[in-house]
Amino acid sequence: MSINPNEVWEPTSDHRTPMGTLHSEAARDHLWMHFTRHSVFEDRTEGGLGHTVPIITKGQGWKIWDDRGNEYIDGLAGLFVVQAGHGREELAEAAAKQAKELAFFPLWSYAHPKAIELAERLASHAPGDLNRVFFTTGGGEAVETAWKLAKQYFKLTGKPTKHKVISRAVAYHGTPQGALSITGIPAAKEMFEPLVPGAHKVPNTNLYRAPEHLQGDEKAFGRWAADRIAEAIEFEGPDTVAAVFLEPVQNSGGCFPPPAGYFERVREICDEYDVLLVSDEVICSFGRIGSMFACDDFGYVPDIITCAKGMTSGYSPIGAMIASDRLFEPFKSGTTYFPHGYTFGGHPVSAAVAMANLDIFEREGLNDRVKQNAPIFKATLDKLLDLPLVGDVRGAGYFYGIELVKDKATRETFNDAESERLLRGFLSKALFDAGLYCRADDRGDPVIQLAPPLIMGPEQFDDIESRLRSVLTEAENHL
Ligand SMILES: Cc1ncc(COP(=O)(O)O)c(C=O)c1O
């Protein structure tokens, strides 16, 4: 690793743009941040909210620094992305080398060496006969691509009415309008309705919030949740349903692992109704759970995998849809082709960086590291269960959610106003001030999420736990 913790970093908050504006002011006036309430930066009155945009300037390993020189633990690997950690010179060098050799060429009827090598390597890691790799620039495009492929595949194979999709409540699958239809978060969708029709939702696998008669019986809950998919297929008509989109561990809502037997049953249902099983591994692949592809962690073989984020550890953007040989079969002959693509899909620089990133995975045994350390990470976070606010700690690998509750005994959650006060009013800032960058999320019940770089170990888990403990203890006073 090329991490030098002793390197001197000059703290400053008066960084200016080439046009002479303070970065914080240019950010406020010109940058449109994603999923961000800009009002908090706009209040310039004396004594007003007056938040300045947090500006992150540097990263090394699992640490990041802001423009004032403050150091933070990167508890979220950027956004579930920086698996190999920040500051890897060899990944920067792989990008530079490729940019010098061939900066750009599309995959539109032509190929370039790094996309070919990466496709072969991903196929070798993917289970079953998932051998065909369609590159995108990110996760939402991979999801979009999977739905389009599912529709076209069934049109080409004599089942042209199969076009609908099923996904789970509160799940996030991206923001292009197809992927957004698949997303199960009403607040993320309402401004853009009507979206692509035909996307139906079933319950997710939040065991902590399971129907009362199933609480405490993981297997029965898993069976029940999987059977809701069969029910939805029946309700919609099996001849109309093309695919089911599921994350191995659902992110949104706070890291719901699959109950024992869940995916086994889902696979059976998909086979019975000839519905494609899409494993949306935009977060869960590349070691996040412990294997290159998380379907291996849970013992199922999907028809399609969608992935992105960790493929390059974030050093350059890329995503992919990996399809089975069966799905590619109709495209092998005649004039048939998949009328779909992206200028930057499988960009040579990103493909080269992905290859170098996967070299690091192999050389440093990152996946085994996650498998070994995951129980220690979970046990460390479980210590927080002694706090009155902490209702549940759940997840797998290096991917955990901590659900906050108003009343532990009844599992009562916070109402909207309380959640707003707790998460946005206090926790997000307090955690950051305590030197921990992580996520306080209220898209379902309120949770804090952790998904650090895979190079972290038990010493950092303890550090995270103690920072969380002090902030969550203080949070009691802000309810
Ligand atoms: C499961 C899942 N699918 C799709 C996406 C969308 O990926 P992107 O933001 O790269 O478009 C995400 C993003 O977090 C995701 O978690």
Tokens standing for residue 385: 């269960």
Q: Is 90 exceeded by the pLDDT of residue 322?
A: yes
Nearest residue (CA) to ligand 1, atom 8: 139
What is the Å distance from ligand 1's center to 135 Cα? 15
Could you identify the atom of ligand 1 that is nearest to the CA of residue 317? 10
All residues at 6 or more sequence positions from 262 whose CB lies less than 8 Å from its CB, including other chains: 205, 222, 223, 225, 226
Nearest residue (CA) to ligand 1, atom 7: 139
How far is the C-alpha of 251 from the C-alpha of 141, rounded, in Å? 18
Q: What is the pLDDT of residue 50?
A: 63
What is the Å distance from ligand 1's center to 87 Cα? 24
Could you identify the atom of ligand 1 that is nearest to the CA of residue 143? 4
Q: What is the pLDDT of residue 479?
A: 78
Q: Where are the alpha helices (DSSP H) in 9-138?
A: 23-30, 39-42, 77-80, 89-101, 113-125
What is the Å distance from ligand 1's center to 213 Cα? 33
Nearest residue (CA) to ligand 1, atom 2: 173
Q: Is 80 exceeded by the pLDDT of residue 376?
A: yes
Handedness of CA 332, 335, 341, 344 (dihedral sign): positive
Other residues' Cβ atoms within 10 Å of the Cβ of residue 237: 11
In the β-sheet with 241-246, what is the strand arrangement from edge to edge?
Answer: 130-136, 319-324, 304-307, 276-280, 241-246, 164-168, 199-202
**Residue ranges around ligand 1 (CB below 6 Å):** 138-140, 143, 172-174, 247, 251, 280, 282-283, 308, 319
What is the Å distance from ligand 1's center to 223 Cα? 27
What is the Å distance from ligand 1's center to 247 Cα? 10
Please report which confidence band the pLDDT of residue 4 belongs to, taking 50, 70 and 90 as the band edges: very low
* Rounded mean pLDDT, 97-124: 98
What is the Å distance from ligand 1's center to 97 Cα? 28
What is the Å distance from ligand 1's center to 325 Cα? 25
Other residues' Cβ atoms within 10 Å of the Cβ of residue 122: 24
Determine contact, residues 190/155, Cβ cutoff 8 Å.
no
List the single range of 151-160, 398-407, 416-425 with lowest mean pLDDT.
Answer: 416-425
Please report which confidence band the pLDDT of residue 304 belongs to, taking 50, 70 and 90 as the band edges: very high
What is the Å distance from ligand 1's center to 338 Cα? 23
Could you identify the atom of ligand 1 that is nearest to the CA of residue 283? 16
Could you identify the atom of ligand 1 that is nearest to the CA of residue 141? 11
What is the Å distance from ligand 1's center to 138 Cα? 7
Across all residues in the chain, what is the average pLDDT? Answer: 95
Could you identify the atom of ligand 1 that is nearest to the CA of residue 138? 10
How far is the C-alpha of 140 from the C-alpha of 118, rounded, in Å? 20
Q: What is the pLDDT of residue 40?
A: 85
Tokens standing for residue 405: 């509750």
Q: Is 90 exceeded by the pLDDT of residue 44?
A: no
Q: Which of 173, 249, 250 to mutate to test the pocket of ligand 1 (most atoms within 8 A of CB)?
A: 173
Q: Is 80 exceeded by the pLDDT of residue 258?
A: yes
Please report which confidence band the pLDDT of residue 113 belongs to, taking 50, 70 and 90 as the band edges: very high
Could you identify the atom of ligand 1 that is nearest to the CA of residue 80? 14
What is the Å distance from ligand 1's center to 400 Cα? 17
What is the pTM (predicted TM-score) of this model?
0.96
Q: Which of 143, 175, 180 to mutate to test the pocket of ligand 1 (most atoms within 8 A of CB)?
A: 143
Q: Is 60 exceeded by the pLDDT of residue 49?
A: no
What is the Å distance from ligand 1's center to 283 Cα? 7
Q: Is 70 exceeded by the pLDDT of residue 446?
A: yes
Element (H, E) at 381: helix 366-382
For 49, phi and psi rounded to 5 degrees? Answer: -55, -50
Q: What is the pLDDT of residue 2?
A: 39
| Amino acid, single-letter form, for residue 179 | A
Q: What is the pLDDT of residue 48?
A: 56
Could you identify the atom of ligand 1 that is nearest to the CA of residue 174? 6
How far is the C-alpha of 215 from the C-alpha of 420, rounded, in Å? 28
Q: What is the pLDDT of residue 63?
A: 98
Q: What is the pLDDT of residue 477?
A: 86
Q: Is 50 exceeded by the pLDDT of residue 211?
A: yes
Q: What is the pLDDT of residue 6?
A: 44
Q: What is the pLDDT of residue 9?
A: 43
Q: Is 50 exceeded by the pLDDT of residue 7?
A: no
* Rounded mean pLDDT, 210-220: 94
Place of tokens 């196929």: 123
* Rounded mean pLDDT, 361-380: 98
Handedness of CA 29, 32, 34, 38 (dihedral sign): positive
Could you identify the atom of ligand 1 that is nearest to the CA of residue 252? 16
